[in-house]
Amino acid sequence: MSRTAIVTGASRGIGLAIAQSLAAGGVNVVLTARKQESAEAAAAQVKGTAVGYGAHVADEEAARGCVEFALERFGSLDILVNNAGTNPAHGPLIDIDQPRFAKTFEINLWAPIRWTALAVQHWMGEHGGAVVNVASVGGIAPGRDLGVYNATKAALIHVTKQLALELAPKVRVNSIAPAVVRTRLAEGLWRDHEEQLTTVYPLGRIGEPEDIGPAVAFLASDAASWITGQTLVLDGGALLRDV
Ligand SMILES: NC(=O)c1ccc[n+]([C@@H]2O[C@H](COP(=O)([O-])OP(=O)(O)OC[C@H]3O[C@@H](n4cnc5c(N)ncnc54)[C@H](OP(=O)(O)O)[C@@H]3O)[C@@H](O)[C@H]2O)c1
């Protein structure tokens, strides 16, 4: 029987590319976005059986509805990709106000924990599965303008290890840590300074969403069946700082 995945935040960018890579491997994919029509429009760009489901990632009832929908539609939920993320606050950590602090942690950390819990309760706890969290290199090394965002991603990398330990051996939990990828979320980082930015990448370019999808498909596959609690850095060599 073919496997089924939910990819959160898949209407564009990295999430859409992940959905396309999973579908290319024969996986049934449920793509989520805040609006039903955006989720459906994205699913129409994915080959195979892909479908869209509108769900704000921090809405517990919507998350439950999406998990139940995946199970009713396809009969299993083998893969969860916690991809939806936000960055409402640029600047130093000490400038953050409480509402934006809370929003960033709710979307980037609370939601992956809740969606994982629902997937485990409804399917993976009994039948097994694989979870992949989309973190960031900012969760590994600090950066000047993304203080609170980086803190959520560092926490997500730790949560990946914590959940991997709690959920083994039935469920594997891994994460990826990309550097700058050409998407709308990261536009402020690459648009108008791409030439300069490229110089910090030993591999000579920033990332494209298509660089990310296959790595997530690998971590979600049986080829990674002895890998859990790990974070795969996808950064064109950017963390290989020349000191
Ligand atoms: N791009 C980078 O350089 C980079 C680097 C490292 C890590 N990341 C991480 O990669 C992930 C994807 O980001 P991206 O760069 O692909 O951004 P993007 O192109 O802006 O896409 C973000 C996606 O998340 C969805 N989304 C946003 N808020 C949501 C919410 N509250 N509920 C449900 N869906 C929501 C958006 O859909 P709608 O707007 O249609 O709802 C969209 O599909 C994020 O976790 C981000 O932190 C990105």
pLDDT tens per residue across span 169-205: 999 999 999 999 999 999 988 899 899 999 999 999 9
Q: Say yes or no: CB of residue 151 within 6 Å of ligand 1.
A: no
Enumerate residues 6+ apart whose C-beta is below 8 A from 187: none
> Residue 93 falls within a domain, yes or no?
yes
Q: Say yes or no: CB of residue 81 within 6 Å of ligand 1.
A: no
> Residue 62 falls within a domain, yes or no?
yes
Residue with tokens 């459906």: 40
How many angstroms separate the CA atoms of 10 and 52, rounded? 9
> Residue 89 falls within a domain, yes or no?
yes
Question: How many structural domains compose the chain?
Answer: 1
What value does the mean pLDDT of the chain take?
96
Share of the chain above pLDDT 70, in %: 100
Q: Tell me the average pLDDT across 51-74.
A: 98
> Residue 239 falls within a domain, yes or no?
no
Q: Specify the pLDDT at position 240.
A: 95
Range of the domain at 155: 4-233
> Residue 60 falls within a domain, yes or no?
yes
Distance (angstroms) between ligand 1 centre and the Cα of 107 equals 10
Q: Tell me the average pLDDT across 149-159.
A: 97
> Residue 148 falls within a domain, yes or no?
yes
CATH number for 18: 3.40.50.720
Distance (angstroms) between ligand 1 centre and the Cα of 79 equals 18
Comparison of pLDDT for 19 and 1, the residue scoring more: 19
Active site residue 201: no
Residues facing 161 on adjacent strands: none
Q: Specify the pLDDT at position 115.
A: 98
> Residue 37 falls within a domain, yes or no?
yes
Q: Specify the pLDDT at position 189.
A: 87
Q: How confident is the model at residue 242 (pLDDT cuts 50, 70, 90)?
A: confident
What six digits make up the tokens of 43?
A: 């699913």
Distance (angstroms) between ligand 1 centre and the Cα of 9 equals 6
How many angstroms separate the CA atoms of 201 and 239, rounded? 8
Per-residue pLDDT tens over the stretch 75-122: 999 999 999 999 988 888 999 999 999 999 999 999 999 999 999 999
Q: Say yes or no: CB of residue 107 within 6 Å of ligand 1.
A: yes
Per-residue pLDDT tens over the stretch 121-147: 999 999 999 999 999 999 999 988 899
> Residue 242 falls within a domain, yes or no?
no
Q: Say yes or no: CB of residue 9 within 6 Å of ligand 1.
A: yes
